[in-house]
A and B are shown apart, each in its own frame.
Chain A
Amino acid sequence: MNGMTITEKILARHSGRDRVSPGENVWVEVDVLLTHDICGPGTIGVFRREFGPKARVWNREKVVIIPDHYIFTADELSHRNVETLRQFTMEQELAYFYDPGTPGYRGVCHVALPEAGHVRPGEVIVGTDSHTCTHGALGAFATGIGNTDAGFVMGAGKILLKVPETMRFRFDGRAPDYIMGKDMILKVIGDIGFDGASYAAMEFSGSAIDALSIEGRMTICNMAIEAGGKNGIVAPDQKAVDYVRARTSKPFEVVTSDPDARVASDRVYDAAALEPCVAEPHLPSKYALARQRGDVKLDRAYIGSCTGGKIEDFVAAARVLKGRKVAIDTFLVPATCEVALALIETTIDGQSLVEVFADAGCLDIAPPSCAACLGGPIDTFGRTHGSEVVISTTNRNFPGRMGSKQASVYLASPLTVAASAITGRITDPREFLKQVHP
């Protein structure tokens, strides 16, 4: 009998079985249900409608609510939605609610969830957001669901899932310092297509994945959904265990794939051969090399979101921007308050990141939230309103994704976005990094 992949093992353990096979439907016990301000109120609506107005959530410590989408806006409905979450939290005595306007506020849920210790290897996490797949970076099974399924989980603590087949992506060798997680995942999506991993588990491995930080692995797993994947996952190593242990005392069990596990496909990349890239409008799968798109003139650069607004992302951008000036409007939105604090505390050659960005002429740093990654209410920071051409560290570039249908969005790594901000056209970061590291 063949072995199991990490995804199959986690689903087997959570459905009380010795083994599961791809295609089987199984009832899975949920460890964490994540929701936020745009899907939380609807989830609560389903929960109350179906389980009754006096129903209690299945476990007050397993429902985690992290408002992050429409926070810094004058939009009244958005404020009402956060208030709905606040009332529900009090009524249900939920243990984890990160309330905007209080010291408990954190910011973008997919960066906040692991920061706050809610992501643990071997666990099952479902969230009302497609980028919930981010959390596979720490060896959890994590996937996005809708309000109705989430309403069911809220009351019952379990979900019916089809066991996905696993597609394996191995990055051998060593990635050069101008290559980031974003370049790796855009390469994969470009190769297999925007629906190339529909309903599959995308498992990432190899020496270049091992060498990545947890944040770099999060960038990769975050965009599994951009190939249609059900989940993205990296087997937890000591780095992952250390990250989690520093943030929670809850016990967890590390799960990894068996060497003889059966997979649907195997792709192998030479990390050393990767080049800085972009995804052209209007699909994350429209892969192009940055150095071959130097004729694209830009109006804006944007650094932020769950996939591109982490500490490491800003450090990368600062490496390029230090001592230089941006030529276009450059928007900076740290994902979380922890990232915002790190921008002050982290220094490069004695200068804080905040100072590096101010000297480079970037716009004032915005407070942490999803901001213009998905457009949002019309007063959202960084939202497009016309035919702007934007290069962004975010994860989607559909028509209208950042607000205006006329706008064009190119996705890229923070290094490539920063280099492009300096020249005002799409630019390979090697043009600047060579000078930093001769």
Chain B
Amino acid sequence: MSTQSTPRFSARVYVAGDNIDTDQIIPAQYLNLVPTNPEEYIKLGSYALSGLPDGCAPFVPPPGPRSPYGIVIAGRNFGCGSSREHAPVALGAAGVRAIVAESYARIFFRNAVATGECYPFETAVRLLDRFQTGDEAEIDVPGATLTNRRTGEVFKLQPLGAVGPVVAAGGIFAYARQAGMLK
């Protein structure tokens, strides 16, 4: 529910790999935290991507609880594994506004949209070697473009379609109310 409906935003980029599973996004030992409790929501953010293998740059450096990275760039099958909604919640709570991946596991994609935590953009081009962790990038949400400010390269993303307004509203319930589908 952290996403605001800004059509365009800039953030630093964190580059992850293929098959980033939900245990790497939020290790199971933190699933005792309940996302709808505000204090625990913030804590979940502080553990975002803490399951990445040793040697990866820390996604949430101490003291936390927010990450300096607002955009995650990944390869194939991002969010595979568990249906834990803690995964998009942890990313959103850490300050992630958008993920740009070649493909998503379906439950993660749906959870990202349903919660409105982050925009799940898809890219037809593999971007892992076109960005470095720490690069400044800009996303134009309605235009579906990603710009690497360091290199000046502009990448066309797949349009979000019906998913965009749902995330912008802050999730399916907020969207349904805005659209008059729910009281």
Q: Please list the residues of chain A having a beta carbon within 8 angstroms of any beta carbon in chain B.
A: 38-39, 41-42, 45-46, 49-50, 69-70, 75, 77-78, 81, 84, 128-130, 132, 144-149, 152, 194-195, 198-199, 225, 228, 230, 283, 374-378, 396, 398-401, 403, 405-406
Contacts and interface: CB of A to CB of B under 8 A. Distances in A.
Interface string B1-32: 00000000000000000010101100111011
A146 B51 contact: no
Contacts of B37: 45
A45 B38 CA distance: 11
A374 B23 CA distance: 8
A281 to B, nearest CB: 11
B110 A130 contact: no
Most chain B CB neighbours (cut-off 10 Å) among A50, A128, A195, A378: A195
Contacts of B103: 195, 198
Given A129-B82, A194-B19, 15 more contacts: A39-B83, A50-B173, A75-B32, A128-B83, A130-B81, A132-B83, A147-B35, A149-B111, A195-B103, A396-B21, A399-B51, A399-B52, A399-B53, A400-B27, A401-B28
20 contacts: A45-B34, A46-B36, A50-B173, A77-B32, A144-B107, A145-B107, A146-B114, A148-B111, A148-B115, A195-B77, A198-B77, A198-B103, A225-B81, A228-B77, A283-B19, A375-B28, A377-B32, A396-B81, A398-B24, A405-B51
A113 B88 CA distance: 27
Contacts of B23: 374-375, 396, 398-401
3 smallest beta-carbon distances between A and B, as pairs: A45-B36, A146-B111, A146-B85
B160 interface: no
Range of interface residues on B (Cβ < 8 Å): 35 or more
Contacts of B36: 41-42, 45-46, 49, 147
A265 B105 CA distance: 20
Given A42-B36, A228-B80, A149 B27 contact: no
Given A45-B34, A149-B114, A198 B106 contact: yes
Interface of chain B, helix or strand or loop or mixed?
loop
A400 B31 contact: no
Nearest to A149: B114
Contact of B28 (A46, A132, A195, A376): A376
B35 A228 contact: no
Given A198-B103, A198-B105, A406-B54, A130 B82 contact: yes
A80 to B, nearest CB: 8
Contacts of A225: 81
A400 B23 CA distance: 7
A409 to B, nearest CB: 11
Given A39-B83, A128-B83, A148 B173 contact: yes
Nearest to B21: A398
B99 to A, nearest CB: 15
B51 A129 contact: no
Contact of A375 (B29, B34, B110): B29
A42 B33 CA distance: 9
Interface string B77-98: 1001111111010000000000
A92 to B, nearest CB: 17
Contact of A228 (B27, B106, B171): B106
Nearest to B117: A148
Contacts of A396: 21, 23, 81
Contact of A129 (B83, B172, B173): B83
B161 to A, nearest CB: 12
B173 A400 contact: no
